[in-house]
Structure 1
Amino acid sequence: MLIRDLPEDVVMEILSRLPVESLMRFKCVNKAWYFLIRNPDFIAKHLFWATSEKRHRGLLLNREHEITRTPWVSLHSNETLEVSRYVDLLQFFPRDVGELVVFGPCNGILCLFGVPADRNGPRDGLVLWNPATRESKALPIIQRPAEMPTTFPFRFGFGLDPKTGDLKVIRILNLNFRRCQVEVYNLSTDSWRVINTSVNPIYRINSPRFPSYLNGVHYWLACERGGPDHWLMLSFDMSNEVFQEIALPSLTERPSFEAVAVINDSVALILAYNDLATRFYYICVMNESGEEKTWTLMFTIGPLLHFTRLIELRDDGFVLLRNKNGWLVLYDPITQEQRELPIYGDSFQVVSYTETLVMLNGSGECA
């Protein structure tokens, strides 16, 4: 029996389980498949299977080139870590980028924040990008307020409003630590708007180093200026657009609060403990019971050398580290075995994502 002889719903079920790369080719088979693969119901079904079964995964590696000192981005197999292709950032930004930060993923979409190499050139840029379909969308130019120095950083969040299905980008500006302004970008309207917020301007909010969005909420690690021992977590509800302060666990030892991360559908806090020439990372998971939130130690990474830096906590239980010599290392927290990878850099950002058909432009055409 040929596939064209199968009922339409059976064909839809078969196609919804295939990788994006295959589906992008199949759009050329006939008009019926072209419109099916672009259909929102089919895209939602494909997304459901890809996320629920954790299939069709990709990995983005953002590192600083050791010679040019500019961002060098590549896509890899999430399983083997082999390179699938290199990414030209000029397809997203009008000028050379001196610094790149990646936020997400959310439904297979990444948010790229590019700082131009020439500070006197164009303003900082934000781009939403689906690396599987290669579709991208540049957000409206970010204009810095006149009183905000060009060296002063923004803080961003990125996620989905589960009530409307709309992708949102959050931009937090702390103006001279006297006033905090929060802006929200909606993909559906392609515009920014200022919202009322109760964020305390004395908080120093850390930029996310790891995926920090889960189930309609984005999380940041923050501390109170002038009070280095007062650390907390800030959350932002993408639907209600309300911030909430979350207390961190009480600790007898004095750790270094490293970051917030989402690991296997749980919100985690990363703590670092230094002991003589070694370092330990403690990964604590947040448990929610109504309004009360508690923390449980999930696992420990170490002992490691002081110069070792945590790069990614993988869903398969392994950890990516940067060793003292600048090489990327695959580490097993259970056996403490380390495998040095042939990937070198002064700094790394690694993001694993699910390959999806989620569209960014109304037409659905890929850039």
Structure 2
Amino acid sequence: MEDCRLSTDLVVDILSRLPVKSLMRFKCVCKFFYDLITSDRHFMDTHYGIRKAKTDCVLLEAGLVVREYYLLYKESSEIECIYLDIPPTTRVQWVKCCQGMLCLISPRNEITYKLDHGDYLIYDIWICNPSIKKVKALPSLTVPYRLPYDAFVRNEFGFGISNDMTLKVVMLLEIYSLDDGGRIPHQMTLVYSQVGGESWSLRQINNSVTSCCDIEGANNDFYLKGRYYWRAERVYDGYGRYLIWFDMNCEVFGTIELPVVSIYSVSIMNETIALLGYSGKDDWDFSCIEILLMMEDDNNTYWNKKSNIDCVVNVDNNESWRPIGIWNLDGELLVFIDHRNDWDSDHSDPDHAHDVRGVPYFISLDLVTQERKMFSLSKQRKSITIASNSTADF
């Protein structure tokens, strides 16, 4: 940088406009570039703010017993894949996404099994920036509650960033005693937040909104505009479907009521919440995917139908389209092609059964032009292959 005739601000502005692949090459130019690209938080935020208008990403999870994670992203019109090389020994059970960064969470305890009284719950957490292939381990999180009984645990997590650029992990925790049949849980909500530099703080906050039992599974949680959202369905104390949100700034919870429609997943489109479901004649009619957008007017929330997409369904092959999410900035729908009869019921080993299902195929569908690109994860699970007849009917 000593011989550079450009000002530092101008160099930073130029670098912040480069695609990720170019940044990876520029890391090798000089120490200033390397430190800027890999460690400067302001540069990372500026780069994300500029590039997010041209790129988008979605997190995919595959595998039954051994989980694998992939970050699909678009660079202009090209679809590419980053394989998250997470060692199986880490037993990562939750991966959350916020503005291109990932939060990986692994329990020290075998939480799917019985916990003995006197145990503490401990979690290992990493923050991953897949675009620069950088992973940072956080100080381990120890729940400040010692189990007074044999128990099992339910967890839900969220990951986001506040307006002052503080990273936060929110944890919804329920501990069920095995002595009373697991009916009355001890509930805790914890916020693990960045204090400065390498320091993190843990504190307990109030949450009277929901139970972990109500929160739905994959493809139903996301970060948007300072809030983390979970889709939930109340069953035991009055039926209802809603979104739970946690504000990363005020650290309070709230809810948004959902319409009575068939919902498969929740996503983001045009900086607002989108519901992806089916508008068929019955619960088993997957011939048409429907997209609803949340609208707000004078503090009132309502849902507006954005579009309907006719699916090409192979009934004989028991094939259906499963909407995963929106490439929200370009207005493209990401769909998983589900071949249900690929499951080999003669194999009791879930890992083997996953292999029998074959290569996962996806469709990226432009909601304006209706152009469809079909692609698949490779058998090595580390790249994607675009089908040669992407625009053809399937």
Q: Deviations over 1:98-122 (max 9, x none)?
A: x64421132x211223468976899
Alpha carbons of 1:324 and 1:244: their partners in 2 closer, same or farther (altered >3 Å)? closer
Q: Deviations over 1:229-277 (max 9, x none)?
A: 411221111111111122223x4xxx33333322231112333445365
CA distance in 1, matches of 2:223, 2:157: 11
237-246 or 208-217, larger mean C-alpha shift: 208-217
**Residue 331 of structure 2, aligned match among 317, 322, 328:** 317
Equivalent residue, structure 2, for 1:285: 293
Equivalent residue, structure 2, for 1:103: 96
Once the two structures are superposed, the pairs formed by residues 3-152 of structure 1 within 5 Å of their partners are 4-34=4-34, 36-37=36-37, 38-51=39-52, 53-55=53-55, 57=56, 60-64=59-63, 69-76=65-72, 78=74, 79-83=77-81, 86-90=83-87, 95=89, 97=91, 100-106=93-99, 108-114=100-106, 125-139=124-138, 140-141=140-141, 146=147, 149-150=151-152, 152=153
- CA-based RMSD of the aligned residues comes to 3.8
Output the amino acid matched with 1:5. Answer: R
**Residue 258 of structure 1, aligned match among 264, 272, 284:** 264
Equivalent residue, structure 2, for 1:165: 165
261-270 or 114-123, larger mean C-alpha shift: 114-123
CA distance in 2, matches of 1:261, 1:231: 16
Once the two structures are superposed, the pairs formed by residues 172-321 of structure 1 within 5 Å of their partners are 172-175=172-175, 176=183, 179-188=186-195, 189-201=199-211, 204-207=214-217, 209-210=219-220, 212-226=222-236, 229-249=239-259, 251=260, 255-275=261-281, 278-279=285-286, 280-303=288-311, 305=313, 307-315=320-328, 316-321=330-335
CA distance in 1, matches of 2:232, 2:24: 42
Q: Deviations over 1:187-218 (max 9, x none)?
A: 33423221122224497122452552111111
TM-score, normalization by structure 1 = 0.73
Alpha carbons of 1:303 and 1:45: their partners in 2 closer, same or farther (altered >3 Å)? closer
Alpha carbons of 1:161 and 1:247: their partners in 2 closer, same or farther (altered >3 Å)? same
Q: Is the 8 A contact 1:24 1:133 kept in 2?
A: yes
Q: Is the 8 A contact 2:246 2:253 kept in 1?
A: yes
| 1:161 CA displacement | 0.9
Q: Deviations over 1:270-302 (max 9, x none)?
A: 334453653143222111234321211122233
| 1:5 CA displacement | 2.3
Structure 1 unaligned regions, length at least 5: 351-367
TM-score, normalization by structure 2 = 0.69
CA distance in 2, matches of 1:133, 1:337: 31
Alpha carbons of 1:233 and 1:7: their partners in 2 closer, same or farther (altered >3 Å)? closer
| 1:182 CA displacement | 0.9
SS state at 1:278 partner: coil
SS state at 2:207 partner: coil
Alpha carbons of 1:35 and 1:73: their partners in 2 closer, same or farther (altered >3 Å)? closer
Output the amino acid matched with 1:284. Answer: L
Output the amino acid matched with 1:323. Answer: I
CA distance in 1, matches of 2:131, 2:60: 15
Alpha carbons of 1:266 and 1:8: their partners in 2 closer, same or farther (altered >3 Å)? same
Q: Is the 8 A contact 1:155 1:207 kept in 2?
A: no
| 1:41 CA displacement | 4.2
CA distance in 1, matches of 2:166, 2:212: 31
CA distance in 2, matches of 1:344, 1:114: 27
How many residues matched? 328
CA distance in 2, matches of 1:217, 1:80: 29
CA distance in 1, matches of 2:371, 2:8: 49
SS state at 1:212 partner: strand
Structure number with higher relative contact order (C-alpha < 8 Å, ≥ 6 residues apart): 1
Work out which of the two has the higher radius of gyration on C-alpha atoms and give 1 or 2.
2
CA distance in 2, matches of 1:101, 1:41: 27
| 1:31 CA displacement | 4.6
SS state at 1:89 partner: coil
Q: Is the 8 A contact 1:328 1:340 kept in 2?
A: yes
Alpha carbons of 1:41 and 1:76: their partners in 2 closer, same or farther (altered >3 Å)? closer
CA distance in 2, matches of 1:238, 1:273: 34
Output the amino acid matched with 2:190. Answer: E
CA distance in 1, matches of 2:60, 2:256: 31
